[in-house]
Amino acid sequence: MTSFCHDIKENLIPKEKYHSMNKNCCWQTILFAFFTFKNYHFAENNKIEIKIEELFLVRLLEQSLKNLKIDYLKESNLSLNNKIINHFIVDSDIFTNNTAHLTILPKNKCCRIYWLKIAFLCIGYLSDPNKNYHLEFVSSLNNIENIKLILAEEEIESKYYQKANDSDNYILYIKKSDDLIHFLGIIGSNKYLLEIENVRIEKGIRNHLIRQINYESANIEKTIESSVKYIHAIEWSIENGFFNELPENLKEVASLRVKYPDKNLRELCELFEKPLTKSGINHRLRRLYGIIQKEKSKVI
Ligand SMILES: [Zn+2]
């Protein structure tokens, strides 16, 4: 089954792009990044062995070895769950007897982007944006801090914590959709960047509509609520013969309120012969209500 994340990874550095990647420094970075993020071990006769499963990584590692003119041996076998595992065996002198530089970020900007791409390919996971916005990397503290540093240079906010029951590994994550989109832009995954952007727009429109609907129904409820309150008061004044004692301007507003109970204040404004503002009506209704309440308290 292919996932959103797998699709992105498969298309991140397609083999059709290899020929346009013509800088040796970047291929060197790609090769070393494999040894930074994947497990490897020193074998007999000064050899190093690294195991790679995913086909897009196998192709990329093989290409880097070819471009850098490094001799290698490739062996494939089947894992217990019937997956093809590729073993690459190279001379340990590719590290010039020192693996310390695997813990340091490459200097060149061009190389740093490739380093980040390989980090994502080897230890990154991006969830389907239709479900939630989440990108994470799982690796050693040193690797996680280096990733955080590169992201910070790009003004992407990330956080990390130690993996539960695993003292060697840390999880770094990005949650903000803006940061995710920015990240995909940096690693050059434009197609998926657009896909996330579309999902975000759809979600945004949906949320906006829901807010709008909630806001409107809250307003309608408010209109009905206050309309009912005034209508009850006006009806009481009619039933108790008090209505005619009200000032003319209040009688006018009372009549319209009772006649059009579902209209809000703005709509009521339009029904007056002489133009009246919303706050003008509001003021009259309150006065009316106050007078009726006062009269009511005398009677009761
Ligand atoms: Zn480079």
Give pLDDT tens digits for 155-173: 999 999 999 888 899 999 9
CA of 58 to the centre of ligand 1 (A): 20
CA of 178 to the centre of ligand 1 (A): 27
CA of 274 to the centre of ligand 1 (A): 77
pLDDT band of residue 58 (cuts 50, 70, 90) is very high
CA of 159 to the centre of ligand 1 (A): 27
Q: Is the pLDDT of residue 34 over 60?
A: yes
| Arithmetic mean of pLDDT, 59-85 | 91
pLDDT band of residue 98 (cuts 50, 70, 90) is low
Q: What does the pLDDT read at residue 43?
A: 86
Domains and CATH numbers, the chain: 4-188 (3.10.28.10), 204-299 (no CATH)
Distance of CA 189 to the CA centre of its chain: 16
Instruction: Report the Cα–Cα distance between both ends of the chain, in Å, rounded.
Output: 76
- For 165, list phi and psi in degrees, rounded to 5: 55, 30
Asked if residue 50 lies in contact with residue 88, where contact means CB atoms within 8 angstroms, the answer is yes
CA of 100 to the centre of ligand 1 (A): 19
Q: What does the pLDDT read at residue 275?
A: 77
CA of 283 to the centre of ligand 1 (A): 73
Q: Is the pLDDT of residue 97 over 70?
A: no
Average pLDDT, the chain: 88
Give pLDDT tens digits for 108-132: 989 999 999 999 999 999 998 888 8
CA of 108 to the centre of ligand 1 (A): 6
Q: What does the pLDDT read at residue 82?
A: 83
CA of 171 to the centre of ligand 1 (A): 27
3-state secondary structure of 76: strand
3-state secondary structure of 78: strand
* Angstrom distances, CA of residue 282 to CA of 13, 149, 215, 231, 289: 66, 59, 21, 14, 10
CA of 105 to the centre of ligand 1 (A): 12
CA of 115 to the centre of ligand 1 (A): 9
Give pLDDT tens digits for 217-230: 777 777 777 788 88
CA of 23 to the centre of ligand 1 (A): 6
Asked if residue 208 lies in contact with residue 201, where contact means CB atoms within 8 angstroms, the answer is no
Tell me the two tokens of residue 135: 């990108």
Q: Which residues contact 171 (CB under 8 A, 6 or more apart)?
A: 136, 137, 138, 144, 160, 161, 162, 163
pLDDT band of residue 238 (cuts 50, 70, 90) is confident
Q: What does the pLDDT read at residue 216?
A: 72
**Highest averaged pLDDT of the listed ranges 12-21, 134-143, 218-227:** 134-143
Q: Is the pLDDT of residue 36 over 90?
A: yes
CA of 85 to the centre of ligand 1 (A): 29
Q: Is the pLDDT of residue 300 over 70?
A: no
Q: Is 32 exposed, middle or buried (0-12, 13-18, 19+ CB in 10 A)?
A: buried
| Arithmetic mean of pLDDT, 221-241 | 83
Percent of residues, the chain, with pLDDT higher than 70? 98
| Whole-angstrom distance, CA of residue 65 vs CA of residue 34 | 11
- What is the value of pTM for the model shown? 0.68
289: part of which helix (H) or strand (E)?
helix 278-299
CA of 114 to the centre of ligand 1 (A): 8
> For 174, which DSSP code?
E
